[in-house]
Each structure stands twice: as structure tokens, then as C-alpha cells.
């Protein structure tokens, strides 16, 4: 593994939602070391790169070995992706030891990692490699928005502790934000569990257990004010995209379900948290499913994610996600079965695995959701979802 990265520059990606402590982490990291030649790329969605200015004002004058690149008016996981990779390659030709990338708070680490994979596929040899994907996690927020309410619901005897509210009312009511936080945890190789000083030892233990269950492969470092040594964040081992992608509890549960495998280690059930997959070919009624989410969704569920479809729309694949108190349904693509004949045949030729689970009536259309929770009733949830099903009338 080490031979593959000889003479290449490690790139460390730092993600984490607004307020988690990413910029504080970058500043503290530079204070703790001054002998490394580091290039920093800071991405901000706005016209003014506030994070870049904070790092520059606090650190750049003190550390002449540091070079700072600001990327704004877009996100490096989508609109600035190509420009981002070009910038990384340009930096690699300079005399530096490492590249640190602070992604915007709304960046999807999956897409950024895929940018490296895509670049490697088109270029025979590139002078950099993705070393680590770090997610800075606000431990206080995880406890407040997941565990505190969940523990109350299952009659936990642990004391509640008041926590600082860092998010606005608008943030709190936006389901995409909480789902993004979970996505960032599920797709990282290192978790900086920040603001640990705001929780009791017991609360912190619970947060670590849940985070480890969601992404068991990621190393967890507890921090206060995001302080961590440079040597602890650069692994010098290439980021294993497939291993990390497949190691989250969501994907592990789905894989074992699709391969009819039983849980072997049962680690995730040690703390009373378990998972299961709901699978039905039959479509949901849109109105019934939404009513279920709004009026009857179990508070014992921590996380859910999967693809679904509705009886009045057999064309579009919908992504259902839930994290804590928030849930969303988003149209993301078309079912292969809904494509024109020529496009469908081309898709099957390029991706023959589609045919492995093809249904004569429904094609590739399916409701398949992974649920993760504590103290829930699988039978009750399954029954409620079954009540949302509707007969499919294929008009084609």
C-alpha cells in the first residue's frame, strides 16, 4: 500500500456541517505544528469566503510555509468539482508536504471522493492521493437531536442536560441538513468528535456508541475546541472508497438483506440499537406515506434511508431519508423500467446486474428502506408501511 503512494502528496478532506468546528480545527492544527509545508484549500458557497479569511488572519502570517487557496461561489462537490481537481494538481507541483481541504458545510464527501476516482481513471499517473476524509461532528448536537429525545421516548433513566442551541429555527426545520450530517458521518474515515466538553461522560459515551454504529470503520478522536495533532489526521494510506462506502450500517444491513445473510457479529445490537430492511415491490400511496411520516412515524427510529416509488408516478425514483426528527423525500432519477426501449436496453447491456433483480411486472421498481433505531417494533413499522401500499395499475 505504501509503495503505491511513494512521492505522492496526501490530500486530507475536512467536512462537517456549519458550526461543527471545521475552521477552528484548521486554525488549531496549524498552531500545533509549524514545520510542515502545507497548502490549504478552503471552499465556501458564498461570494465572500469567510472561513478563508479567518484562517488567513489567524495563521497565515505566523506560518510562512503555508499556502492558502480560496474557492467560493460554488461547491467543490458539484459546480466547482473540475476546477477543484485542477487546483489540487497545480498545488501538487509545489514544494509542499500535504494538502488540506476544508469543504463547505453543505458539501457531500461522496461526490468529492468520486472526483478523485474519476481523475485517476482519466489520468495514468497523478501526483496526489486522497489520504483521509475527516468529518468534524458536533457531539452536543448529535446528543440533542438524536439521543436525548430518543432516550426520553424509551423511558431511559439518564438525566437530561441543557445544551446550547447553535442552529437557527430555519436549520432545525430543514430535514436535508440533518440527513447531510448523517451522510458526512457515514462516508468518512476519521471522525473528530468535537465539543465533547459540553456533555457528561455518560452522554458522550452514548454519542460515541451511536456514531460508531453508523460508521464502524471510522476512527474516532474526541476533541475540545477541535484540537488534534497533525500526525493523527494524515494516515499515509490511500482512502479506500469501496470499503468505507460499504461499511456504514445502512449499506451493511442492505447487503446482508439482499444476500439473505444473518448478522454475524451483532455488534450494533450491543447498545440496544438494531437495524432491518423493509422491502416491497408494490408502490406506496403518496398521500398515505406522507401521512405516515407526519402523524405516525416512530420516534424510536434514529436513521432511515432507501429508495421508494409511488403509485401515481412509476417513472421517478424517490430517495427517502430520515435522521432524528427530520425526514425528506426527494426525486433523484428515473427507474430503468420507465426508460424508452432503446435507453433501457442500453442500460441493461452496460449494467447486466440490473436483470438479476428484475421483476416481470415492476421491472426495477421497488420500495427498499433500511431502518436503524432503538426500542422499535419491526412488526409494527412493517404493518404501518404495508397500510401505505397501493395496487399498481400499469397503463403501458
- The confidence score (pLDDT) of residue 310 equals 96
Cβ neighbors of 304 (< 8 A, separation 6 or more) are 320, 321, 322, 327, 369, 370, 371, 372
Q: Are 105 and 17 in contact (CB under 8 A)?
A: yes
Q: What is the mean pLDDT of each run of 10 residues along the chain (396 residues)?
A: 63 84 80 74 52 44 56 54 80 86 71 77 77 90 70 43 38 56 86 92 89 87 86 84 81 68 43 82 96 92 90 93 83 92 90 88 93 88 96 70
For 376, the grid coordinates are 422499535
Alpha carbon of residue 111 to chain centroid: 10
Reduced to 3 states (helix: H, G, I; strand: E, B; else coil), residue 334 is strand
Q: Are 92 and 5 in contact (CB under 8 A)?
A: no
- Rounded Cα gap, residues 135 and 185, in angstroms: 6
User: What domains lie within the chain, and their CATH numbers?
Assistant: 2-246 (3.40.50.300), 249-386 (3.30.1220.10)
- The confidence score (pLDDT) of residue 341 equals 92
Distances in whole angstroms, Cα of residue 215 to Cα of each of 28, 100, 184: 26, 23, 10
Q: How many residues does the chain have?
A: 396
Reduced to 3 states (helix: H, G, I; strand: E, B; else coil), residue 296 is coil
- Rounded Cα gap, residues 311 and 309, in angstroms: 7
- Rounded Cα gap, residues 388 and 286, in angstroms: 8
Amino acid at each position: 500500500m505504501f509503495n503505491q503512494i511513494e512521492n505522492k502528496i496526501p490530500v486530507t478532506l475536512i467536512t462537517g456541517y456549519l458550526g461543527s468546528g471545521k475552521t477552528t480545527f484548521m486554525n488549531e492544527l496549524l498552531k500545533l505544528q509549524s514545520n510542515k509545508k502545507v497548502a490549504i484549500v478552503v471552499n465556501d458557497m458564498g461570494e465572500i469566503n469567510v472561513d478563508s479569511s479567518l484562517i488567513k488572519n489567524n495563521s497565515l502570517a505566523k506560518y510562512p510555509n503555508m499556502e492558502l487557496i480560496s474557492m467560493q461561489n460554488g461547491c467543490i462537490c458539484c459546480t466547482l468539482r473540475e476546477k477543484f481537481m485542477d487546483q489540487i494538481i497545480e498545488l501538487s507541483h509545489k514544494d509542499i508536504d500535504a494538502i488540506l481541504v476544508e469543504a463547505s458545510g453543505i458539501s457531500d464527501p461522496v461526490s468529492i471522493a468520486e472526483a478523485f476516482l474519476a481523475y485517476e481513471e482519466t489520468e495514468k499517473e497523478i501526483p496526489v492521493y486522497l489520504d483521509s476524509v475527516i468529518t468534524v461532528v458536533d457531539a452536543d448536537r448529535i446528543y440533542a437531536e438524536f439521543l436525548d429525545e430518543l432516550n426520553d421516548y424509551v423511558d431511559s433513566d439518564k438525566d437530561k442536560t441543557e445544551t446550547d442551541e447553535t442552529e437557527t429555527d430555519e436549520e432545525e426545520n430543514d430535514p436535508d441538513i440533518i440527513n447531510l450530517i448523517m451522510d458526512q458521518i457515514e462516508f468518512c474515515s476519521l471522525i473528530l468528535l468535537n465539543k465533547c466538553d459540553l456533555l457528561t461522560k455518560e452522554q458522550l459515551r452514548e454519542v460515541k456508541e451511536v456514531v460508531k454504529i453508523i460508521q464502524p470503520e471510522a476512527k474516532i478522536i474526541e476533541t475540545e475546541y477541535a484540537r488534534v495533532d497533525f500526525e493523527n489526521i494524515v494516515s499515509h494510506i490511500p482512502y479506500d472508497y469501496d470499503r468505507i462506502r460499504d461499511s456504514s450500517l445502512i449499506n451493511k444491513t442492505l447487503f446482508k438483506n439482499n444476500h439473505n445473510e444473518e448478522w454475524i457479529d451483532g455488534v450494533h445490537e450491543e447498545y440496544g440499537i438494531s437495524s432491518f430492511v423493509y422491502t416491497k415491490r408494490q408502490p406506496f400511496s403518496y398521500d398515505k406515506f406522507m401521512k405516515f411520516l407526519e402523524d405516525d412515524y416512530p420516534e424510536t427510529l434514529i436513521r432511515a434511508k432507501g429508495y421508494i416509488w409511488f403509485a401515481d408516478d412509476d417513472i421517478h425514483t424517490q430517495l427517502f431519508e430520515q435522521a432524528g426528527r427530520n425526514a425528506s423525500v426527494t426525486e433523484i432519477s428515473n427507474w430503468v423500467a420507465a426508460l424508452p426501449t432503446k435507453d433501457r436496453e442500453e442500460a441493461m447491456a452496460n449494467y447486466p446486474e440490473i436483470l438479476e433483480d428484475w421483476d416481470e411486472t415492476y421491472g426495477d421498481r421497488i420500495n427498499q428502506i433500511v431502518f436503524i433505531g432503538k426500542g422499535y417494533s419491526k412488526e409494527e413499522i412493517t404493518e404501518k408501511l404495508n397500510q401505505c401500499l397501493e395496487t399498481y395499475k400499469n397503463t403501458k
